[in-house]
Structure 1
Amino acid sequence: MNIEQANALSLPEILQKIGCVPVKDKGNDLWYLSPFREEKTASFHINTIKNVWYDFGSDRGGDVINFAQSYLQSQSEDYTPADALRWVNNMMLSPVSILYVPRDKPKETKATLTLSTVFELEHNGLINYLESRRISLALAKKYLKEVVVNNNNTGKKFHAIGWQTVSEGYEVRNKVFKGCIGSKSISFIRGKQIPAVEIHVFEGIMDFLSAVSEQKGQQFVGDAIILNSVSCLPQAFPYIKNYHYRSLYTWLDNDTAGLLATQALKELAEKEGILTFQAMNKSYSPHKDVNAWHMDKPKV
């Protein structure tokens, strides 16, 4: 695919691929909540006849490649024309099922919360929270940090566990809060084998840590992707497609969104041809997720 071919692709279809649907449909004029930021009033417009877009919130617009560049920039990714072309090609090859995975929103925006400090886990409240989820401190310290977060609206600070994302932001969580610092994106965890031939996809970090706990704390041989939200599933595709992986395992929730995301990844494996696929959710059914199953098991 070249740039001219990419610009001939339907912008509404590309928006669907990243989970955006119009909130106003006026025939040839479609209005969306901007894919570049969190907002409550639709400010992103597509003219379907000209196949062009304009984002009133950032005062910019253009064609398909311009959109891909702006979207990649908003996700803190490289956004040269070559990067945009590669992204568009990957998106158009992704399974259609991804269109119907519901999006969820972080409780706070990146403008509200900022990161103060990052250090080793030591806060008793956070350690107790991890223990309540049946995650040992020794295991947690391998993958998690303690972070101090500033709430710029209230001027207050709070402690949370944190783990880094591929966009160099942080997912943060404690007993009463779950959110992110920076752009919402996936996390990638390298396995024992390099290069790995297996890739495991989890929805949340607690599910991943629970699966590792079930292996007596032993690191996965294969690599792992933590989605941090099913809405981030499209970001995982470029990490799986056309790589050295031969097996794809999914550990997603036993709910509608999780099952749809599982189906989307199954379709990806089938399209790749060389990827064997295994959904692990039956192994922790009827529980909703891996962590709930892990917590319900008798202590040994």
Structure 2
Amino acid sequence: MTSKIIYNTDWAKENISMPELLRWFGHEPVRSSQRGNEYWYISPFRYEKEPSFHTSYLGGKWIWNDFGRGDVQGNGTVIGFMQLHENVDVKGALQLLKNMFPNRGQAVSLEALRLMPLFKNVELIEPNIFSSEGSERLVIQNIKEGIQNRALIGYLAGDRKIDHKLAKRYLRTIQYENTETGQRYHTLGFVNESGDYECRDKYFKGILKSPSATDRKAAKDISYIPGNDQSRVAVFEGFMDFLTVLTIKKTEVLPVDVIVLNMVNMRKRALDFIRSFTYEQIYTFFDNDRAGEKTTQLFAEELGDRVLPQNHLYRGFKDYNHYLQKGYF
């Protein structure tokens, strides 16, 4: 009989490593120790050129310190990182981690295996980035156009500072069920090119498979919104940044084409998609962190001087939505 996983702070400490959590958000180490238990990163919390974010495996757990901030939230734990990165409390951090790593605790992670001498020279296969871990147990029950739930409106307008009246054109209210527990929840859905839904609310961040897709897993993909002016395209890292621009400009539509990566690992998919058009100008709105910087650089290398980075508009902030949340417009 399989024992039930208890999702608490001990579960997070024992089953989730800082390197894999940072990789989930698109951050890769700048340098690491030979033993593989110490890493330096460009800080996930601001723009910088020299790495000041440090994480190491000490005393049976991963800890971190952001020396550029001069302080640490949550004593540098996985939970503390999620609190600071996602602006949630301990309960919210645990709920997000539970949805990001739902089956963790039932098996040894790849990160842990790689640290074991037995597996030092063995090639370990990474999970498919197009599928969401554990997403098969989360099943969509109902989809409604617009935003039909007060809690979701509160999340958009209160936490994200997004004008929900402008955003409703692009979002769906999704009711889904956890088939293991029978519990049902509501979340915001943003459709991608595979027909599945990139979902977000205060306690959930993931992807849910379209009810019409019965023969495959949920597919991570970009989203495309055509505009009237197809000589130009705006490329966003996440859909909250796209909705931020609508809120700042006080408009329901942008005149140009829009592409949302939905995940920095979709950058090559986005590049291939862009090459199928003849865009004269490509505006990029990527995060002010190491992953965003690398993505901007890749776009410039692949697409040349047509690429016009816009991250200077929110310099000093992680992304455009963070800038909006702080009221700097």
Q: Do the structures match in fold with TM over 0.5?
A: yes
TM-score, normalising length: structure 1: 0.63
User: Which 4+ runs in 1 deviate beyond 4 A?
Assistant: 23-26
What does 1:89-238 align with in structure 2 at a 5 Å threshold? 106=132, 108-120=133-145, 121-132=147-158, 133-181=160-208, 182-193=218-229, 196-238=230-272
**Whole-angstrom distance in 2 between the partners of 1:184 and 1:126:** 23
**Whole-angstrom distance in 2 between the partners of 1:37 and 1:284:** 29
Corresponding residue SS for 1:142:
coil
**Whole-angstrom distance in 2 between the partners of 1:216 and 1:32:** 46
Equivalent position amino acid for 1:244 in 2: T
Equivalent position amino acid for 1:123 in 2: N
Q: Please, which moves more after superposition, 165-174 or 214-223?
A: 214-223
**Whole-angstrom distance in 1 between the partners of 2:120 and 2:127:** 15
- The alignment status of 1:279 with 2:315, answered yes or no, reads no
Deviation for aligned residue 1:35: 3.2
Structure 2: which 5+ residue stretches go unaligned? 1-27, 29-113, 209-217
Corresponding residue SS for 1:111:
helix
Deviation for aligned residue 1:290: 0.5
Deviations 1:182-214 (A, max 9, x none): 111111111232xx0111111111100101222
| 2:128 equivalent among 35, 41, 48 | 35
**Whole-angstrom distance in 2 between the partners of 1:222 and 1:118:** 28
Aligned length: 204
**Whole-angstrom distance in 1 between the partners of 2:311 and 2:141:** 37
Deviation for aligned residue 1:37: 6.8
What does 1:15-54 align with in structure 2 at a 5 Å threshold? 26=121, 30-35=123-128
Q: Please, which moves more after superposition, 184-193 or 169-178?
A: 184-193
Deviation for aligned residue 1:34: 4.4
Corresponding residue SS for 2:186:
strand
The answer to whether the 8 A contact 1:269-1:276 is kept is yes
The answer to whether the 8 A contact 1:200-1:248 is kept is yes
User: Percent of aligned positions with the same letter in both sequences?
Assistant: 32
Deviation for aligned residue 1:254: 0.4
In structure 2, the partner of 1:58 is none
Deviations 1:129-169 (A, max 9, x none): 11021112211211111000111222211001111110111
Corresponding residue SS for 2:169:
helix
Equivalent position amino acid for 1:224 in 2: V
Deviation for aligned residue 1:25: 7.2
Q: Please, which moves more after superposition, 289-298 or 200-209?
A: 289-298
Deviation for aligned residue 1:176: 1.0
What does 1:246-261 align with in structure 2 at a 5 Å threshold? 246-261=280-295
**Cα 1:217/1:152, change in 2 over 3 Å:** same
Corresponding residue SS for 2:313:
helix
